[in-house]
Amino acid sequence: MVKLMADIDDDEALLAELGHELAPVKAAARTAQEARLVAGFQEILQFAADHGRPPQHGEDRNILERVYAVRLDRLRALTQAHPLLMPLDTHGLLQEAPTLRDPEQVDAEDDETLLADLGVAGDDPEDDITQLRHVRSFEERKAAEEIANRTPCPDFERFQPLFERVEHDLQTGLRKTLRFGRDASVAEGNFFILGGQMVFVAEMGETFRTPNGEPDARLRVIFSNGTESNLLQRSLQRALYKDETGRRITDDDHGPLFGDTLEPNDIVNGTIYVLRSLSNNSFVVEHRELVHKIGITGGTVETRIANAQKDPTYMLAKVEVVATYQLSNLNRVRLENLFHRIFQPARLDLTIQDRFGNPVKPREWFLVPLHVIDEAVKRIQDGSITDYIYDPKRAALVER
């Protein structure tokens, strides 16, 4: 609503009596250098406001906090910038002494690890310490914050077996890592390595267009340390690009399990065997019809299980063979990994004691009915297994 002139005159008179002037306050024009200093300091102030404390050093801190901590120490030491920044310092951050623990170590960290993200100039005379180099754009800061601001994953138990499986696949060569960039796509179900942690894209929302017309989508990203982040697809891509160690983890379908061409680890004839334990462990006795071990051998099964009662792998007990399947031209390692991946949700978690009283944990045992294992073998043979997963609640293979 537009005020009448009389109203304005009344306001002026009242303010004059209170000792206030209506003369407009002119903001002093800042140089580009001063604007960069202010922008960089405001990012630190926002961090302090959000977290209730100043940013801190330490390898256990995320990269964004470490960036701000180094920047704050440099600004604290930069006394010639204090007259400019002190009026903004609502948290008293500049009044404290720098917190660098090991100057030589931090200098190396600045130059080699944090320089690109830090935004603080180096030793170039034309770009001295009084300047903040390329204070990041809003989009870049937002992307970094999305990566850094993670929350605990409430259902991480669903995803932990996936991380364990992928790690095992990497160790056995079933998967490999590739430098991110040759293939810059990010899709639901992809695995990556970012900041030294494994990353899983669990969900992807509807694709939308950014203001500049680029396609984007909101993701649910799970990290191997039990945290998650609800970030944008392009934010994850940008972070993987900038991370020197950023990697894509390949899928586990490099080549057929069965074929006409033998690979180095292939065997001409092999046997898939399914064992049932004769252990007197109370849990095994109660679930004996469901507890099965799945393995593959290039020799005879009888030789493989001859000393089962002395081997923790077989629960230090005799076993009986309940099913065998003869196959040709198969890659033993890949096929065994495939079985274990399919039945990972039903892997037996059991600890028993050896004859010396030491705890041992038998592996490769699963709570799976025999007829389901038989179905899995048939689906591996006809190639349809890739469309199915094992549901332990229904004790059945179900379509993905």
pLDDT confidence of residue 360: 77
The band of 354, judged by pLDDT with boundaries at 50, 70 and 90, is confident
The segment with the largest mean pLDDT, out of 15-29, 98-112, 274-288, is 274-288
Task: Read off the pLDDT of each residue in 215-221 and give the average, rounded to a whole number.
Answer: 89
Task: Read off the pLDDT of each residue in 75-85 and give the average, rounded to a whole number.
Answer: 85
The segment with the largest mean pLDDT, out of 110-119, 179-188, 264-273, is 179-188
Task: Read off the pLDDT of each residue in 273-277 and give the average, rounded to a whole number.
Answer: 93
pLDDT confidence of residue 286: 92
pLDDT confidence of residue 37: 83
User: Is pLDDT above 70 for 264?
Assistant: no
The answer to whether the beta carbons of residues 232 and 146 sit under 8 Å apart is yes
The band of 122, judged by pLDDT with boundaries at 50, 70 and 90, is very low
User: Is pLDDT above 80 for 111?
Assistant: no
Q: Among 394, 385, 290, 370, which residue's Cα sits nearest to residue 334?
A: 385
Task: Read off the pLDDT of each residue in 373-385 and give the average, rounded to a whole number.
Answer: 85
The answer to whether the beta carbons of residues 397 and 389 sit under 8 Å apart is yes
Structure tokens at 400: 């993905």
Task: Read off the pLDDT of each residue in 372-378 and give the average, rounded to a whole number.
Answer: 90
Q: What pLDDT, in 10s, does the model give residues 13-53?
A: 544 444 444 444 444 567 777 878 888 888 888 888 888 88
Calculate the average pLDDT of the chain. Answer: 75
Query: Parallel, antiparallel, or unpaired: how do β-strands 215-216 and 219-223 relate?
Result: unpaired
Per cent of the chain over pLDDT 70 is 72
Structure tokens at 19: 């000792």
Residues whose CB falls within 8 Å of the CB of residue 167, separated by 6 or more in sequence, listed in order: 198
Domains of the chain by residue range: 32-136, 149-249, 266-399
User: Is pLDDT above 90 for 192?
Assistant: yes
User: Is pLDDT above 60 for 9?
Assistant: no
Q: What pLDDT, in 10s, does the model give residues 133-143?
A: 444 444 555 55
Q: Return the HEC string of the chain.
A: CCCCHHHHHHHHHHHHHCCCCCCCCCCCCCCHHHHHHHHHHHHHHHHHHHHCCCCCCCCCCCHHHHHHHHHHHHHHHCHHHHHHHHHHCCCCHHHCCCCCCCHHHHHHHHHHHHHHHHCECCCCHHHCCCCECCCCCHHHHHHHHHHHCCEECCCHHHHHHHHHHHHHHHHHCCCCEEECCCCCCCCCCCEEEECCEEEEEEEECCCEECCCCCEECEEEEEECCCEEECCEHHHHHHHHHHCCCCEEECCCCCCCCECCCCCCCEEEEEEEEEEEECCCCHHHHHCCCCEEEEEEECCCHHHHCCCHHHCHHHCCCCEEEEEEEEEEEEEHHHHHHHHHHHCHHHECCCCEECCCCCEECCCCEEECCHHHHHHHHHHHHHCHHHHEEEECCCCEEEEC
User: Is pLDDT above 50 for 170?
Assistant: yes
The band of 223, judged by pLDDT with boundaries at 50, 70 and 90, is very high
pLDDT confidence of residue 137: 47
pLDDT confidence of residue 128: 41
The band of 144, judged by pLDDT with boundaries at 50, 70 and 90, is low
pLDDT confidence of residue 332: 66
Residues whose CB falls within 8 Å of the CB of residue 362, separated by 6 or more in sequence, listed in order: 312, 313, 314, 315, 348, 350, 352
The answer to whether the beta carbons of residues 328 and 378 sit under 8 Å apart is no
pTM of the full predicted structure?
0.38
50-55: Cβ within 8 A, 24+ apart: 54/91, 54/93, 54/96
Structure tokens at 398: 């179900």
pLDDT confidence of residue 78: 83
pLDDT confidence of residue 110: 39
Task: Read off the pLDDT of each residue in 247-265 and give the average, rounded to a whole number.
Answer: 57
Return the minimum-mean-pLDDT range out of 62-66, 104-108, 152-156.
Answer: 104-108
